[in-house]
Amino acid sequence: MRWRTKPIELLLLAFFAVFLLYPLAYVFPGSASDEDYAVRLLSFGERPPEVLMILSKARPEAPQVEKVSLPLTVGTFPPARKRNAEELALKLTGAGARADVVRERHWTAFYFQQALGFQIQKREYFPYFQPVPNAPALWECLRNSLLLAAVTTVATTLLCLPLAYWFTRYQFRGRGLLSTLLLVPLIVPPFVGAIGLERLLNRFGTLNLWLMNLGVIQAPIDWLSGGGFIGIVIMQVLHLFPILYLNLAAALANVDTTLEDAARNLGAGEWRVFRTITFPLLLPGYFAGASLVFVWAFTDLGTPLVFNQNKVIPVQIYDQVSDPQRTNSVAYALVVVTLVITAVLFYGARWLVSRQSFIGGGKGAVAASIPNAGRGRTALIYATVLGLTFLTLLPNIGVALTAIAERWTFSPLPESYTSAHLREVWSNRISSLSIQNSIYYSACSTFLDLVLGVTLAWLVIRRPSWLTGFLDGLAMLPLALPGLVLAFGYLTCYSNLNLGGWASVLDPSRNPAPLLIVAYTVRRLPYLTRSAQAGLQQVPPVLEEAAENLGASRWRVLRTITLPLIAANLVAGVILTFAFALLEVSDSLMLAREEKYFPITRAILGLLMRPDDGDNIACALALFAMALLACSLLVANLALGKKLGELFRA
Amino acid sequence: MTRIRIQAVSKQFGPTLAVDKVDLEVSSGELFFLLGPSGCGKTTLLRMLAGFVQPDAGQIFFGEQQVTNLPARARDAGMVFQTYALWPHLTVTDNVAYGLKIRGLKRADIAGRVERALKLVRLEGLGTRKPNQLSGGQQQRVALARALVIEPRVFLLDEPLSNLDARLRDEMREEIRRLHKETGLTMVYVTHDQKEALTLADRLAVMHSGRIVQVGRPQEVYNLPVNRFVAGFLGDSNFFAGTVREIRDGDAVVETGLGPLSAARVNSGLAQGMKVYCSIRPHAFAIRPAADSVNAFDARIEQVTYLGEQLRIRAVAAGQALELASVPQLAGSLQAGENVTLGVPADQVIILPDTN
């Protein structure tokens, strides 16, 4: 580690400062401070008695006119309500006085104490005291969220380990096709899935009606009740497992199989080989994937909302933030707690990865011959993958059916079909515009991500210093950051600042497009830079040195040696980035306020609100979005001229 | 001490026949070499011995035990991999102790045996290092220790020296010879380096296209190759196409481009008029021989290269390029472009069948 500062590093730092640190810093004080509003009376005007009357109503101990010195500050209650103060000021002005609203911020530990503090209670027996949380409900939320994330991560791991093992260690017919199917959950955003799931599982949804028609049940069952912990886990696992699978498969493909052979040669059974050799070598890749899954599950807002589970941290934050009356609240404390927990996990995982990074002995060492999976194992793989795909698609079948349904009430399947809704996607102003917008936003943000991500990854792996480490930490921060919070930060920060000159393009109330693009970029940068880093870690530096030795410039080395070698990782990263950006929910909902700037997700929500056929058009648009995602995956597939599954094997 | 028997073993990978009906016996305690160019099937054969590759046909025995269908983990065949395959996440000690832990030894026994194994390969005191903190030679020694410490029935080495530089290779060659002597293990050693095979082997098998071409002691195979491939693969040789003109009392005369060549050694089955090759090693030529010597012919020196312990000379005779080796003392007296007389003693001319 040396002190070394390069212009490029400073540029990155500036980017993060403007688009990550400052908006966050703008949110942060809310967790430890309170805003009070008061009315300042500047003059009594022509009708002092009237003003005094109003004052005495507002404050019973109102002073006599003779004793008042102007300006007079009149407090309102509760002090944190802006509207109370505004109303009072309005009344005073109406009585002819001059008055304005003043805002005061004072620092307090109150919200932390209220949200997550303890009180010590005496007890009769050892150890004679007991900590009692001030807000047991919030502690319950925290426990729920942690448990949810942990169970989801474990379940995802149990699902992905055999999948990754099968797909990297065995050859079977249709391997490429099946590994493509495994990526389907990526093109199926949970936000869209939620609509379909609701359609299938609500009280008079397909499942209930079917079961009732079959006579299995008499009255509809409320599938989404009771917080649906298991339901949330299943939804999250189904959505998140490809992320872990991709990481594990890439890591597994890079484990030299002779290392496993060496253990077998010394008498180790398969389970022992896995436990003592393969898994420890997989750990970096596993942690990269598992930490993503954990944090995602921990900060997931959409799925718990669909299942009506509000006793989790993200929903608590969402509920409080979306209430415009409360500018300060416990939500900020919860955001900070979320950030701390996720940051600890992240930096823990990173530390483990850095401790265990092995630069492999070159790719030639990986044995070329992959054994055939037997008939039985092939059948098992097919059953698992097809079953998973079906489960993932199920909610979206609901979406698809809604999109083409003409009449669908109180019957398991639509009564008649029409293509009118699909056609309306084109003619409807909101939906057709939103498609253009989304593609434009996503493409711009993906390109930005690619440039930033590769640069950053290269700096982190090849030119490590405290500064690049810090930059990397910043780039990873959005993973720990619920999109809602970042978007809220952007919105408040860049709306309230009076930006002049060219900087005013950032003002979301004028045109949210630049901020939307930046929000997508910042939120998805971790995936791209992670992919690039994982690739770079496995490219021995000597390959780059060889090119430099032959006289190639830095840029040329990057272009002709490094990038081609990590192309598979980059394509994986770009696809993830583009796909996620296209169906980004929270940023889009927060930032896009005008129809002409709506991205697809915001348009879907807007259409859902419309009466009559709003549902159907929304679903048609969702269907279209999924098709768009599928196309982008396909294009990447064709461009690389390889099977998509092979893409992710370095 | 275990004898290895390989009976009619074959293995096919897709369209290529990697190992083609190989029969082989390795005596107990022998240091046996499988020698051949890359792609000849020697590594596949070794991996079949280790149990990583399942033969399509044939049987393998360790001693009296049939191991053909035994999984790799149950074979007790210590193997040293070409890339060493040291586990990067484990220390040297943990690498070496791995097999002993699997065998359920007590902790104290493991420590003692690991220590002895590391001592055997002269790595005392490096047990706490990770593999990537070791030099190539040291990694090689760890790989040897890891395979030796389990006291395997047979010891398999897959091109163990190919990743080392020349000096280390010489050193490790001696090391392996010493280990073989001290342990008395049955060792099968795969290499494409004929020098390794000739210097170390008790016996060796030369493989070509999945088949064993010749088995024997190093001198036998070197001096009496059965065909042009073996002669060319084991050391350099000059080949002259010719026809057998006459055979009398163990001698043969072959009509070649250089004129008639007398050969002292005759394979049975040689007949007059047969198309053959005469093989002459570079060092078999006498430069400016005595006037009455047999097999004398004229040649023109093209190039003389001084290699320290010998001279390498390129010459042309009757339109054919020759490769000669000579003592370095002749360096001053030989000039490129000079015409000299060369002679070959009859017992240095080896007649090989023209199998192609």
pLDDT given at position A187: 63
Q: Specify whether the CB–CB gap between A403 and A633 falls below 8 A.
A: no
Q: Specify whether the CB–CB gap between A280 and B130 falls below 8 A.
A: no
Half-sphere exposure of B212 (CA within 13 A, CB side): 21
Check CB contact of B79 with chain A, cutoff 8 Å.
Answer: yes
pLDDT of residue A153 exceeding 60, the answer is yes
pLDDT of residue A626 exceeding 60, the answer is yes
pLDDT given at position B295: 85
- In terms of Cβ atoms closer than 10 Å to its own Cβ (0-12, 13-18, 19+), residue A169 is middle
The residue-averaged pLDDT of B34-58 equals: 90
pLDDT of residue A505 exceeding 60, the answer is yes
Question: Facing residues of A50 across strands?
Answer: none
Query: Radius of gyration over alpha carbons of chain A, in Å?
Result: 28
Query: Radius of gyration over alpha carbons of chain B, in Å?
Result: 24
pLDDT band at A363 (very low <50, low <70, confident <90, very high): very low
Whole-number average pLDDT of chain A? 76
Tokens for A507?
């003002």
The reply to whether residue B73 touches residue A265, judged by beta carbons under 8 angstroms, is yes
pLDDT given at position A419: 78
This model of the complex carries an ipTM of 0.72
Q: How far is A264 from chain B (nearest CA, A)?
A: 5
Nearest chain B alpha carbon to A284 = B89
Half-sphere exposure of B125 (CA within 13 A, CB side): 1
pLDDT given at position A156: 94
pTM: 0.69
pLDDT given at position A648: 39
The one-letter code for the residue type at A583 is L
pLDDT of residue A327 exceeding 60, the answer is no
Report which of residues A568 and B179 the model is more confident about.
B179
The residue-averaged pLDDT of A402-408 equals: 76
pLDDT band at A448 (very low <50, low <70, confident <90, very high): very high
pLDDT of residue B237 exceeding 60, the answer is yes
A409-418, A419-428, B335-344: range with lowest mean pLDDT: A409-418
Which one of B98, B150, B153, B162 makes the best mutation probe of the A interface by having the most chain A beta carbons within 10 Å? B98
Specify the DSSP class assigned to residue B132: G
pLDDT given at position A1: 38
Dihedral sign for Cα B348, B349, B354, B356, please: positive
pLDDT of residue A364 exceeding 50, the answer is no
The reply to whether residue B87 touches residue A361, judged by beta carbons under 8 angstroms, is no
pLDDT above 90 coverage of chain A, percent: 5
Report which of residues A314 and B121 the model is more confident about.
B121
Whole-number average pLDDT of chain B? 88
pLDDT given at position A323: 55
Report which of residues B135 and A639 the model is more confident about.
B135
- In terms of Cβ atoms closer than 10 Å to its own Cβ (0-12, 13-18, 19+), residue B332 is exposed
Interface of A with B (CB under 8 A): 256, 258-259, 261-269, 272, 276-277, 280-281, 283, 356, 358, 361, 365, 369
The residue-averaged pLDDT of B273-294 equals: 84
Check CB contact of B313 with chain A, cutoff 8 Å.
Answer: no
pLDDT given at position A303: 75
The reply to whether residue A264 touches residue B71, judged by beta carbons under 8 angstroms, is yes
